[in-house]
Every structure is written in structure tokens, then in C-alpha cells.
Amino acid sequence: MSKPIAGFSKLSKSEKIDWIATTYFQDAENAKSILKSYWNDDEKLQQLHDEFIENTISNFYLPFGIAPNFDINGKLYTIPMAIEESSVVAAASKSAKFWLDRGGFKAEVISTTKIGQVHFIFDGDSEKIEQFFEQTKSKFFAQTESLTANMQKRGGGILDIKLVDKTKDLKGYYQLHATFETQNAMGANFINSCLEQFASTLQTEAKYYDGLSESEKNIQVVMSILSNYVPDCLVKAEVSCKVENLKDNDIKNPQEFAEKFVQAVRIAEIEPYRAVTHNKGIMNGIDAVVLATGNDFRAVEAGVHAYASKNGTYSSLTHASINNGVFKFWMEIPLALGTVGGLTSLHPLAKLSLELLQKPSAKELMQIVAVAGLAQNFAALRSLTTTGIQEGHMKMHLMNILNQLDATNDEKSKMIEHFKSNTISHHAVEEALRDLRLAIDN
């Protein structure tokens, strides 16, 4: 059983690895070998990765793929995707190709407002704190000018600050609810710095405000932090065409397909158990692009799923309709993304991804990411309502199974051919590979 270790962060990387390997692994040398095999040979690049986070001992690689043929607002894109799940990139590519000849994807940014809050406790008269806020509001702006100057030059900054009374939910609880425009930056550090200054101004100004009693002047700031729920940082993506134009190799009866597709979406709109899986598929596409471009996919996930629950029940993010013979499929989601700052400027592959996307602005990246999610959802629903999802997914998963079973390249080729006409499962692949090896041995 391992014991606590003191001063771990002060150890060198090699010392950290030695301790981990000897403490937790039966074969310490093998553990060391695996960890070191994922180091980058370029020492400068490895040091860059080491300094992204704390206590770094190795790199954890994800496949980096591309999905071509995305027509977005008349402009052709090849979209980078970092993800480990089989079939996601293939599905996105298939959707892109399908809609390429049917008008492409349309996307628009509806709004880009981001939110931050100072949460504080005021044990006093609500009218007094409201009067204090109104008389002090200009100072919140004035005392953050040094922080906002550069952002304002780029067209961003603090949009507004409001006092929100939440005392009905929690005794004495108020908020300074601030809205921001951060242009091409995600803006987390900018927003949090402004909020902390707001908190300082709030407490300082309260001490000198004659309209508050001595006890009321003692405002307790609990925390100052941005919100990853950004319902006013919205982007819409959609596809549409005449129902008859939906016909292709998998869609023999376009009217039947369209009607079944719309029903599948409506089920996800009213059934949370289905909606969670439905939206997870959307996030397969969104997260893969967010990660590839050096953005925070966890923040995006949290905000998107909160938005899916905005009406009180968790529901589908996408919607579909058939009107006057036209099929339409669309999605409106919150996405707070950046194309400057953070990993977007540091991680070599993130920079490469943004260059691959023709150096988009934050608004353009919002559109691209939303389209990737819509494309992924279309591909999933198309499979579910026609051939079933497992046929395509298991074909992609076949290679993972073969790699688990240490198949050679020759064995892989033969297994791929074999399973063109046989049902794929882990057990079936295992048996077929064993039979192949027995036949060769004999």
C-alpha cells in the first residue's frame, strides 16, 4: 500500500516517474518505458507541453483527424477533429459530402455576450444596497479601465453591470451580474480580473457610503467568477433542401426518411433518456473541434447541457421540420470560443488547426464548431432511421478489436474482408482470428 509523499511537486520529472513506477507498478521498468515513449524527441516542444499543467510526466495522445468537404455559408472548409471514438470523423465527413450537393450548411452568430458574477452577502435593507449600487456603478467601470483598455481597442469590454437580488433563494445573497464582449478571445482571464476588481470596489466603496449603517458596510464577497453558462453567446447552424432531394444510396424513399427523421428528433425533444444520448452525439462533433483548436471543451459541455435544460426539462439541442415539401434541420447553441490567447497561441497543433480553418475569427469558429455538431447529429440520426447505428460503427470499431488482439497487417486485411459479409462483435472477431491462425499453423 502506498504512503503519502511530501514535496512531490518539487521533484524532477524523472524523480516523479521513478516514484510512481516503483510505488504503483509490478513492472516498474515497463511503466517507465511506456511513459517515456510518449515524450517528444524535440526537447523544446516537450518542455512546452510539460509547462501546460502541473506534475507532468508524459503526454497523452489523441488521434488528430480531418473531415473535408464542409460548405459553410458558401465557403469550403476541412475541419480538424481530435477524438478517440471510432466513426465520428467518418460520420462528419459523410454528412459534409451529403450536404455539399444540397446547398451546404448555413450558420450565423446571433449574439456573443459572456457573463461573470460577483457573489456576495449583504445583511441589510435591500433598498439601501440598490441605491448604493446605482450611485457607485460608474466606479466599477472607472476602476477597471486599466484592465479593459486593450480589450476596448479591439471592440470589446464590459457591456453592463446589474445588481441582482437573490435573497428569496438564499438569505442575504446578491450578485453583481456583468456582461462582457471579448471579441476573438475566450476571455476567461480578462473577465475574472474585472470581476475581482468589481469585488474590491464593492467592498471599499461600501465602507465610505453614508447611506449604509456600520453593520451594512461589512459586505462579504463570497467569490468572483465567470459563468460557463452563456445563453446570450449563441450560434445557429442549419441545413435544408426539398424532401425529394434527400434521396441517395441509403435513402430510397426520401419522404419516408424525412418523416421518420423528424419523429426521431421530436422523441429527443420530449424524452430526456433519449435526449442525453442524442446530444452526446452532437458533442462528439463539437468537442473534437473545440479540442483540436485549443479551446476549453469542458466549459463548452457544461454550458451546452445547461442550455439543453433551459425550459426545465433536458431536451434535444437540434430540431427538424417538413414544411411545403422542404426538409429543415437546425440547431441553436451557446458557444464561448476564442482564436487568440491560451492554448490557441501555444499548442502547435492548435495553431495548425486554426490555420487549416483559414484563421477564423471567434465568430467564424463558433459557426464551424456548431456545423460540426449538426453534421454529427445528422449522420447519427440518418443511420438510426435507416441501416441502424451498429453496422457502420462496428465496421469502424473492427480495427480497435484487431489491435487489441495484436493482429498483424496481413491478418487485418483478411479480417476486414471476412467481416464485409459477417456480423462484427468482439467474440466473433476473436473466433475468426483464432481460426485464421490455426489454419496458417496447420
Instruction: Give the pTM.
Output: 0.88
Task: Tell me the pLDDT band of 388, cut-offs 50, 70 and 90.
Answer: low
> What's 280-319 look like in SS3?
HHHHHHHHHHHHHCCCCHHHHHHHHHHHCCCCCCCCCCEE
At residue 1, the pLDDT reads 56
Q: What percent of the chain has pLDDT above 70?
A: 97
Cα–Cα distance, 352 to 262 (Å, whole number): 38
At residue 434, the pLDDT reads 87
Best CA proximity match to 87, nearest among 237, 357, 284, 372: 284
Cα-only R_g, the chain: 27
CB atoms within 10 A of CB 130: 13
CB 97 within 8 A of CB 375: no
* Residue 179 backbone phi and psi in degrees, to 5: -115, 145
Cα–Cα distance, 271 to 201 (Å, whole number): 47
What residues are annotated to the active site? 85, 280, 296, 393
Determine which of 173-182, 200-209, 306-315, 386-395 has the lowest per-residue pLDDT on average: 386-395
Cα–Cα distance, 212 to 412 (Å, whole number): 77
Best CA proximity match to 416, nearest among 400, 430, 398, 393: 398
Cα–Cα distance, 416 to 124 (Å, whole number): 73
Task: Tell me the pLDDT band of 422, cut-offs 50, 70 and 90.
Answer: confident
- Residue range 170-197: average pLDDT? 96
pLDDT above 60: residue 270 = yes
Residue 279 parent element (H or E): helix 272-292
Residue 131 parent element (H or E): helix 126-142
Best CA proximity match to 243, nearest among 309, 327, 345: 327
At residue 439, the pLDDT reads 81
pLDDT above 90: residue 267 = yes
At residue 327, the pLDDT reads 98
Cα–Cα distance, 427 to 418 (Å, whole number): 14
Residue written as cell 432511421? 385
198-221 pLDDT tens trace = 999 999 999 999 999 999 999 999
First to last CA, the chain: 48
At residue 400, the pLDDT reads 80
Residue written as cell 440518418? 382
* Residue 156 backbone phi and psi in degrees, to 5: -110, -165
Beta bridge partners of 121: 173, 220
List strands edge to edge, sheet with 114-121: 157-165, 173-181, 114-121, 220-227
Give the pairing of strands 234-242 and 157-165.
Answer: unpaired
Cα–Cα distance, 207 to 340 (Å, whole number): 39
- Residue range 121-132: average pLDDT? 96
Task: Tell me the pLDDT band of 345, cut-offs 50, 70 and 90.
Answer: confident
52-106 pLDDT tens trace = 999 999 999 999 999 999 999 999 999 999 999 989 999 999 999 999 999 999 9
Give whole-number Cα distances, 190 to 72, 146, 347, in Å.
31, 11, 20
Task: Tell me the pLDDT band of 423, cut-offs 50, 70 and 90.
Answer: confident
Cα dihedral sign, 24-26-31-32: positive
At residue 2, the pLDDT reads 67
At residue 285, the pLDDT reads 98
At residue 440, the pLDDT reads 79
CB 433 within 8 A of CB 402: yes
137-166 pLDDT tens trace = 999 999 999 999 999 999 999 999 999 999
Cα–Cα distance, 294 to 350 (Å, whole number): 5
At residue 162, the pLDDT reads 98
Single-letter code of the amino acid located at 426: H
Best CA proximity match to 363, nearest among 127, 72, 89, 120: 72
